[in-house]
Structure 1
Amino acid sequence: MESSQHRGASPETQKTVRINIYRGDAEGGEFVEYDVPLVEGMVVLDAVLYVQAHISPDLAVRWNCKAAHCGSCGGEVNGRPKLLCKTRVDDYEGEEIRVSPMRAFPLIKDLVTDVSWNYEVARSIPEFKPAEKAPFTMYEEDVERLYEPKRCIECFLCQDVCHVLRSHHKHPAFAGPRFFAKIQSLEMHPMDTGHRTEYLKEGRGGIGFCNITKCCTEVCPEHINITDNSIIPLKERVVGDYYDPAKWLMRKIRGRRNGE
């Protein structure tokens, strides 16, 4: 492990920014301090990549497009889930900048976490079941409600900030906000005939754990209103299917018949 002080700027550089980056793996680690030349318009990912290129080449960081489209550079800045490529250094003028990996997922090394659990959840969601074979006709108002969740870039910041995963580690029983948005896009598709309320309440979804803090909506870089437009409508569907007396009775009857 390197020492806690590094000087990355040349003597001629007038301005530098001090950035503290978490260095370590699943066994443990610490924040290491680096001084990086300050460039106008610099984002946190720029500073991290400067450290990787000029000071500590073994620094592990995941990134791809550097344009806030791929979602791969998700991490935490001062404990808040952020895309590093979309987080400007000058927003923290006069503050300490601490860059760390997402806490909701297992740490691999430095700023890189293992997010493969999310893809396991995606595979568990009941698939789209069309009422008829494509192509089919859809009304514009039906299409519009599907646009918003489709903007998701799967950065998993909403998963990282969710206290059910971040603090209570309910990964085996809770799908998380990213996948509630995905389920909403299926449930509200006018051509879908699938039913996912059982998955949401009694299966892998676990939507009952969500207490609607709206933290997932707040961190979404695509400004998807996950809480109001995905989670709340899905909760309403669960309530309708499970607590409407007529539907409850029909489910009991169907259940007894299936067990005969």
Structure 2
Amino acid sequence: MSAKRQFRIWRGDETGGDLQDYMVEVNEGEVVLDVIHRLQATDAPDLACRWNCKAGKCGSCSMEINGKPRLGCMTRMSTFGDEETVTVTPLRTFPVIRDLVTDVSFNYEKARETPAFAPPADVAPGDYRMQQVDVERSQEFRKCIECFLCQTVCHVIRDHDENKQAFSGPRYFIRAAELDMHPLDTRTDRKEYAQAEQGLGFCNITKCCTEVCPEHIKITDNGIIPMKERVVDRRYDPLVWLGSKIFRRGETPQTSVTTARQGSPTPGSARGGLHSHAGGSHDSQAEAQAQSGVNWHREVPHPTAPAVDDRGKLPLTELTFDRAAAPSPFGDDVTFPLPPEHLNFAHPDQDNKH
């Protein structure tokens, strides 16, 4: 059974473009990519669209359908109403080449900057052995098909051009998490590298990357949040801080990433003199700027209380700052616990109809 459906597709190139309307035949069981192919065969032979496997495993046909980043080959026409106009646009985060094709080279540049797997020097290829539990722990992240839907929906990349060079994005955060938990990877600075070089601190856990992942990878819960927790364990733990002051006699803490960059470039480092948003800088001038409150051209709060009290003890309370914290997102007149209807939690199985 076939019927005519209205499609609105963005046509243009890097100089500009607009949405054009088409009436296209749609058959039962078809996906959006099928309709685009029919449109190319009938009314718009010059329509540019990137695709390859048509099975949801190559990630090539990434596009925005009715405003949501999706794979064209995995979006069934039956999910839309009979009278609903289907609007198809290119990924808005990346530069347009033509029509639905965008330049996603940003992601490959970030992939080249990510340090590769470093196997043990005393183990020959083919002799690697891992426990099954270690294989399963990182197997979820290996399912990534690099469709870059998580990259395009991430607001740090999408809305803030000034952050792009210092931010790798969720796809490469899960790559760092995968290697950090790999028992045969000999690099011990994956967490510090994610913080100092990949911009892990820019992520504010909106979970939009998890929502659009076609492989249902729990990017935020299983990758980004654990990495943030492991960074905080070492960087901000008060006991670790006190130990560094006692045993290192007040030296400025240096990660292995920072130390290596001061001497010679590490694999995957390509930004030279840029210092990290977290203040983990790579040259003395940038370190001085970070200490004086310059952090990516934004002033940061300065502590107004000493790190230790009059008795030389480390206080358990947090340091106070000279500016008020951000207001609560819940407002000032909210009682806890919140009622269920006010929660925005979405259960992973809520879309499964029983």
TM-score (ref. length: structure 2) = 0.66
Do structure 1's residue 246 and structure 2's residue 237 form an aligned pair?
A: no
Where does residue 229 of structure 1 map in the other structure? 222
Secondary structure at 1:171 match in 2: helix
> What is the RMSD of the two structures over their aligned residues, measured on CA atoms?
2.3
**1:197-208 correspondence to structure 2 within 5 Å:** 197-203=191-197, 205-208=198-201
Assess if the C-alpha contact under 8 Å between 2:234 and 2:240 holds in 1: no
| 2-structure distance, mates of 1:146, 1:197 | 16
Where does residue 37 of structure 1 map in the other structure? 25
Do structure 1's residue 79 and structure 2's residue 67 form an aligned pair?
A: yes
Give the CA deviation at 1:167.
1.6
Secondary structure at 1:252 match in 2: coil
**1:81-100 correspondence to structure 2 within 5 Å:** 81-93=69-81, 94-100=83-89
Secondary structure at 1:136 match in 2: coil
Assess if the C-alpha contact under 8 Å between 2:2 and 2:28 holds in 1: no
Match of 1:158 among 150, 158, 167: 150
Aligned partner letter, 1:137: R
Secondary structure at 2:223 match in 1: helix
Where does residue 93 of structure 2 map in the other structure? 104
Where does residue 137 of structure 2 map in the other structure? 145
| 1-structure distance, mates of 2:148, 2:117 | 22
Secondary structure at 1:98 match in 2: strand
Give the CA deviation at 1:76.
0.2
Assess if the C-alpha contact under 8 Å between 1:197 and 1:241 holds in 2: no
| 2-structure distance, mates of 1:29, 1:129 | 46
Give the CA deviation at 1:121.
0.3
Give the CA deviation at 1:139.
1.1
Higher mean Cα deviation, 14-23 or 114-123? 14-23
| Number of residue pairs matched by the alignment | 247
Assess if the C-alpha contact under 8 Å between 1:104 and 1:160 holds in 2: yes
Match of 1:180 among 164, 173, 187: 173
Where does residue 110 of structure 2 map in the other structure? 121
Aligned partner letter, 2:16: G
Higher share of residues assigned helix: 1
Higher mean Cα deviation, 119-128 or 60-69? 119-128
Aligned partner letter, 1:252: T
Greater RCO structure (CA 8 Å; 6+ sep)? 1
Assess if the C-alpha contact under 8 Å between 2:5 and 2:85 holds in 1: no
Give the CA deviation at 1:175.
0.5
Give the CA deviation at 1:237.
1.7
Aligned partner letter, 2:20: V
Give the CA deviation at 1:171.
1.6
Aligned partner letter, 2:27: V
Give the CA deviation at 1:253.
6.0
Match of 2:44 among 33, 53, 56: 56
Structure 1 unaligned runs (5+)?
A: 1-12
Give the CA deviation at 1:152.
0.4
Give the CA deviation at 1:197.
2.4
CA distance 1:198–1:20, shift in 2 (3 Å): same
Assess if the C-alpha contact under 8 Å between 2:179 and 2:190 holds in 1: no
Assess if the C-alpha contact under 8 Å between 1:217 and 1:224 holds in 2: yes
Secondary structure at 1:69 match in 2: coil
Structure 2 unaligned runs (5+)?
A: 263-354
Give the CA deviation at 1:38.
1.5
Secondary structure at 2:69 match in 1: strand
Match of 2:205 among 209, 212, 215: 212
Identity among equivalent positions (%) equals 52
